[in-house]
């Protein structure tokens, strides 16, 4: 009996700790906890987007595409025998995008740190799987683009893409009855990179909302589990 007592004590301690953890996860989070959990989820998606741009060959989403009707434009250029030029330009712009993202990491991280969420509960308790990303995009996209353009412009110049692009546009724009290509791509590339990053963030947010195992911190587990439960209650009362 004496030998059993220590084992029972250990078991009671473990059960007590688990109960305390469950209580914490089940308790309604404070507004500060909601905001911090949302930032953690957005940061998780942001780092996923950084990883995607580090390996652009493995993800067509983060590779450069021609502005406008990309497939049609690329086919037309290849039909004109410009395959090698198309490959060079596509590769250079893709590398420029990757370099720009790598250089601008602090911009995006700082944007999330400065983010304030007035209606945190409303963003959490919703059937919109990327409500936080939508909010972040609405509040931050304009400022991010303004800060990101000079980074993109400098990396494009470092890659020596300008002359290659002029060669392509001069040939393509000489074709009669065809919509001309832009000669300056800084704005296009900037917007594409930022949009792709938001797509990756939105996907990660949706995954975190749907899968408990992707809630990597205790705070995310507490807040998103609570939000999940509250959403079920909300849907049941409709």
Which residue bears the tokens 């450069």? 64
- Sorting pLDDT into bands at 50, 70 and 90, what band is 2? low
* Model confidence pLDDT, tens digit, residues 95-135: 889 999 998 999 999 999 888 887 888 899 999 999 999 99
Residue numbers of the domain that contains 64: 30-236
> How many C-alpha atoms does 139 have within 13 Å on its Cβ side?
15
The whole-angstrom separation of Cα 46 and Cα 64 is: 19
| pLDDT above 90 (res 4) | no
Q: How many domains does the chain have?
A: 1
- Burial degree of 237 (CB within 10 A; 0-12, 13-18, 19+): exposed
Q: Is residue 47 part of a domain?
A: yes
Q: Is residue 24 part of a domain?
A: no
Q: Is residue 195 part of a domain?
A: yes
Q: Would you say the pTM of this structure is higher than 0.85?
A: no
- Sorting pLDDT into bands at 50, 70 and 90, what band is 21? very low
Q: Is residue 106 part of a domain?
A: yes
Residues in the chain: 238
The whole-angstrom separation of Cα 172 and Cα 183 is: 11
- Report the chain's mean pLDDT, rounded to a whole number: 85
Q: Is residue 7 part of a domain?
A: no
pLDDT > 70 in the chain, percent: 89
Q: Is residue 22 part of a domain?
A: no
Q: Is residue 189 part of a domain?
A: yes
Q: Is residue 12 part of a domain?
A: no
The radius of gyration of the chain from alpha carbons, rounded to an integer in Å, stands at 24
Average pLDDT over residues 53-74: 86
């Amino acid at each position: 009996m004496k030998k059993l007592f220590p084992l029972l004590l250990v078991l009671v301690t473990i059960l007590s700790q688990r109960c305390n953890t469950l209580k914490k996860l089940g308790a309604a989070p404070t507004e500060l906890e909601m905001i911090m959990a949302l930032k953690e989820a957005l940061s998780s998606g942001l780092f996923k987007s950084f990883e995607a741009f580090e390996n652009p060959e493995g993800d067509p989403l983060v590779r450069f595409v021609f502005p406008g009707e990309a497939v049609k434009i690329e086919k037309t250029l290849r039909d004109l025998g410009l395959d090698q030029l198309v490959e060079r330009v596509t590769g250079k712009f893709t590398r420029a995008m990757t370099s720009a993202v790598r250089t601008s990491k602090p911009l995006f991280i700082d944007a999330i740190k400065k983010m304030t969420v007035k209606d945190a509960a409303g963003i959490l308790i919703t059937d919109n799987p990327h409500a936080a990303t939508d909010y972040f995009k609405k509040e931050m996209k304009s400022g991010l683009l303004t800060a990101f353009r000079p980074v993109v412009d400098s990396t494009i110049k470092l890659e020596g893409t300008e002359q290659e692009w002029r060669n392509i546009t001069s040939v393509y724009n000489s074709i009669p009855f065809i919509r001309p290509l832009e000669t300056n791509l800084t704005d296009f590339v900037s917007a594409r990179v930022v949009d792709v990053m938001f797509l990756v963030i939105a996907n990660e947010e949706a995954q975190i909302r749907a899968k408990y195992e992707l809630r990597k911190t205790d705070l995310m587990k507490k807040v998103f589990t609570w939000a999940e439960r509250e959403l079920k209650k909300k849907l049941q009362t409709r």
